[in-house]
Amino acid sequence: MAALPKRIIKETERLVSDPVPGITAIPSEDNLRYFEVTIDGPNHSPYADGVFNLELYLPDDYPMCAPKVRFLTKIYHPNIDKLGRICLDVLKDNWSPALQIRTILLSIQALLGAPNPDDPLANDVADDWKKDEKRAIEIAKEWTLKYATKKD
Amino acid sequence: MGNVPTKETRSRSNTDSSSVSDFITSGGAVSIQNTIAASSRSSQRRNTTSFNGHQRSASSELRRMKRQQEKDNALEKHYHQLIVKFNEHVDGGYLAPFGTYKSNLDYNCDVVRRLIIEGKLSPFFTPLQDFDESWTDEELYIILKQLPLHALEPGFNDEEEEDDVDDHKIHKSSNFYKRQEEKSKLKALIARVKEAQKVEEQRYLESKATSTDMSSRDLLLRLYRQPRECPICFLYYPSHLNVSKCCLQPICTECFVQIKRLDPHPPHEEQANANPNEPPLPHTLISEPASCPYCASPNFGVTYVPPKDLCTGIGGIKPSQYKQYTGNGDITDEEDEKVSRTNKKTPPAMVRRKSATPELITIDMIRPDWETKLLSARNKLARKAATASAIHASNLIISDSTESASGVTDDTRRRRGSGETGRRRGNTAGSASNSNLRSIEDRMIEEALRLSIIDEEIRKKKAEEEEAKK
């Protein structure tokens, strides 16, 4: 495997030395481009108190193209589908090489706090969300409790 | 190809910046001759093996060959311009990228080299991987002296093996072989370029002690004593980097040439949904200038102000002659002037270079081919659409006989009026008898068989000739 670009090495070091509250990202031992990520659900959102597992992969062209990020924990959210794929502009066309792993994970955390049913990825969830927001939030809370709570 | 390209021979096609950018190498020239020979061989073959009127006129064949040759030459030149050469030196940097990025190097080398020489874009500096302010001048100098010309792991990812769409077919189309041929040609070219970079690296090492093209200690320290980190690649560069015009953030030239338009794409929903039921039409494909990576302002561009006290390399003094008055530390304006006053022997070219006012350099300037790319993407989509509707139309003919009811037939009749199906079916339009349909199907199958047999024969002949050559 090709040597790791300095940018990835430095980003990883800075993630360790200056971690973001509520977010962890640990590179895998056998592939330093693959990260195991956890994101805490933001307070005052249906995902509060949940800890969500994600995987993040830095493709060969990184930072000229966006990292690939996916939820591993089941989550009820209009912009995240059954497979954990995330609909977020900065992960696609609006990616900028000046963004980093840290900023992307913060954007995902912000997306949990501000679901956008008008630009859905999971259509059924988005429909529920639009029809009866209260009920949808209830389900999201239930799922958080069921799938995203730390096992002690 | 065994021959190692060495610099020298002047190319014919070079129009601008005479003294520096002439570099089709002798290795390159040989390979071009080979290609010409190869393509003329293949054209002979095609003429002798022409099947039922597939003959092409000699002149169009010639034109095609010439186009191909021009394309090959351009590619050859492009890759050779990506080689870092230590005597192509501007203010302590070079005209080719260090090699931080392995792909996306399709920017226009002629333009970028010219901009660097004219002082409108920062040269490609060799990056420092790490930097510590506590390093003494001596320590820093030792590290700087050991920097290679190009990343130690030279490689271009463009050669990645992609599975060809035709790989699974038993009889491959002639296009498949053409693509394969092009791929292997590119691979050979990249191998030659890598080899050439190694040779250059070797020459650099050998002439370190003697050549006047080497940066003096003063120059190196002047550049790297207070380096700045590029926010994109996280590498350290001399502090006078290019800056974005919108938000004044620094960006090194190597990262700048990576930034380009997205591939042509259909417009986003907000812009396009005037007519939601219409399928995407080829002409609706769009391509927009890249936005600033830092502040997302549209139409990204940078400016560069070359430092006043520096003018070494092309159009300036020899890099080995650069002397700094105060040895190290900050340079005040006063010292700046002192230095420039002492450098009186600098040639007039330098004055021209430095007097240029900062000019906005956009990403479209260094990739002027975006428009051609957009057009070709539109054409491709248009061809696809045409094929799709042809297939669709022929499906309708068949379904016509089995379901004679309602909408489908109406639709078919309407379509039949338009030339596409009428031409194929002659005068039978409107009365679709089963036998007629079968004969059309049979004929289509026969035609497909015939084409694949021809392809296969051409391929065999080619293989035999290749064998015979060896």
pLDDT digits (tens, 9 = 90+) for A77-135: 999 998 999 999 899 888 999 999 999 999 999 999 998 888 888 888 888 888 888 89
Nearest C-alpha in A relative to B292: A96
Q: Would B37 be classed as within a structural domain?
A: no
> Are residues A6 and B235, on separate chains, in Cβ contact within 8 Å?
yes
* Band of pLDDT at residue B324, cut at 50, 70 and 90: low
Q: Would B381 be classed as within a structural domain?
A: no
Chain A environment of B235 (Cβ under 8 Å) = 6-7
Q: Considering only CA atoms, which of A72, A108, A106, A64 is closest in space to residue A87?
A: A108
- Higher pLDDT, residue B421 or B242: B242
Residue B44: its pLDDT value, please?
A: 47
pLDDT, tens only, B295-322? 988 889 999 988 877 777 777 777 676 7
B22 Cα to chain A: minimum distance (Å): 31
Residues 6 or more apart whose CB falls under 8 angstroms from that of B180 comprise B164
Q: Would B257 be classed as within a structural domain?
A: yes
Q: Would B341 be classed as within a structural domain?
A: no
In this prediction, residues B192-199 reach a mean pLDDT of: 86
3-state secondary structure B239-282: CCCEEECCCCCEECHHHHCCCCCCCCECCCHHHHCCCCCCCCCH
The C-alpha atoms of residue B364 and residue B247 are separated, in whole angstroms, by 19
Q: Considering only CA atoms, which of B257, B13, B16, B24 is closest in space to residue B118?
A: B16
The C-alpha atoms of residue B301 and residue B366 are separated, in whole angstroms, by 11
Residue B304: its pLDDT value, please?
A: 92
Q: Would B429 be classed as within a structural domain?
A: no
Please pick, among A25, A80, A87, A108, the residue that the annotation labels catalytic.
A87
Chain A environment of B268 (Cβ under 8 Å) = 93
Residue B281: its pLDDT value, please?
A: 61
Q: Would B76 be classed as within a structural domain?
A: yes
B102, B103, B234 member nearest A7 (Cβ): B234
Residue B101 touches chain A, beta carbons under 8 Å: yes
How many CB atoms neighbour CB B340 within 10 A?
Answer: 16
Residue B259 touches chain A, beta carbons under 8 Å: yes
**Dihedral sign for Cα atoms in the order B216, B222, B223, B229:** positive
Q: Would B411 be classed as within a structural domain?
A: no
pLDDT winner (highest mean) among B298-302, B332-336, B341-345, B463-467:
B298-302
- Higher pLDDT, residue B148 or B256: B256
Q: How many domains does chain B have?
A: 1
pLDDT at B436 over 70: yes
In this prediction, residues A43-49 reach a mean pLDDT of: 90
Residue % of chain A over a pLDDT of 90: 62
What structural domains and CATH numbers belong to chain A?
6-147 (3.10.110.10)
The C-alpha atoms of residue B254 and residue B252 are separated, in whole angstroms, by 5
Residue B162: its pLDDT value, please?
A: 57
Backbone angles phi, psi at B135, to 5 degrees: -60, 140
In this prediction, residues B346-373 reach a mean pLDDT of: 71
Chain A environment of B255 (Cβ under 8 Å) = 97
The C-alpha atoms of residue B242 and residue B359 are separated, in whole angstroms, by 11
Q: How many CA atoms lie within 13 A of B194 on its CB side?
A: 17
Q: Is B229 helix (H, G, I), strand (E, B) or coil?
A: strand
Residue B327 touches chain A, beta carbons under 8 Å: no
Buried b (16+ CB within 10 A) or exposed e, B323-339: ebeeeeeebeeeeeebb
Residue B155 touches chain A, beta carbons under 8 Å: yes
The C-alpha atoms of residue B422 and residue B278 are separated, in whole angstroms, by 26
The C-alpha atoms of residue B469 and residue B45 are separated, in whole angstroms, by 14
pLDDT at B155 over 70: no
> Are residues A61 and B103, on separate chains, in Cβ contact within 8 Å?
yes
Residue B151: its pLDDT value, please?
A: 81
DSSP secondary structure string for all residues of A44-85: TSTTTT-EEEEEEE--TTTTSSPPEEEE-S---BTTB-TT-B
- Higher pLDDT, residue B161 or B250: B250
B104, B232, B262 member nearest A93 (Cβ): B262
A58 Cα to chain B: minimum distance (Å): 14
Nearest C-alpha in B relative to A1: B153
Mutation target among B98, B159, B233 for the A interface, most CBs of A within 10 A = B233
Q: Would B168 be classed as within a structural domain?
A: no
In this prediction the pTM is 0.70
Residue B206: its pLDDT value, please?
A: 83
Domain that holds residue B85: 62-155+173-269+279-325+350-367
ipTM exceeding cut-off 0.90 for this assembly:
no
Q: Considering only CA atoms, which of A86, A93, A72 is closest in space to residue A115?
A: A86
A65 noted as active-site residue: no
The C-alpha atoms of residue B245 and residue B365 are separated, in whole angstroms, by 15
Residue A19 touches chain B, beta carbons under 8 Å: no
Residue A11: its pLDDT value, please?
A: 93
> Are residues A97 and B294, on separate chains, in Cβ contact within 8 Å?
no
pLDDT at B344 over 80: no
Residue B68 touches chain A, beta carbons under 8 Å: no
Chain A environment of B153 (Cβ under 8 Å) = 2-3
The residues in A 76-95 lying below 8 A from B, measured between CB atoms, are: 93-94
Residue B31: its pLDDT value, please?
A: 43
Chain A environment of B126 (Cβ under 8 Å) = none
* Band of pLDDT at residue B121, cut at 50, 70 and 90: very high
Q: How many CA atoms lie within 13 A of B414 on its CB side?
A: 6
In this prediction, residues B199-209 reach a mean pLDDT of: 83
Backbone angles phi, psi at B40, to 5 degrees: -70, -35
pLDDT, tens only, A48-77? 889 999 999 999 888 999 999 999 999 999
Distance of CA B180 to the CA centre of its chain: 19
The C-alpha atoms of residue B109 and residue B95 are separated, in whole angstroms, by 9
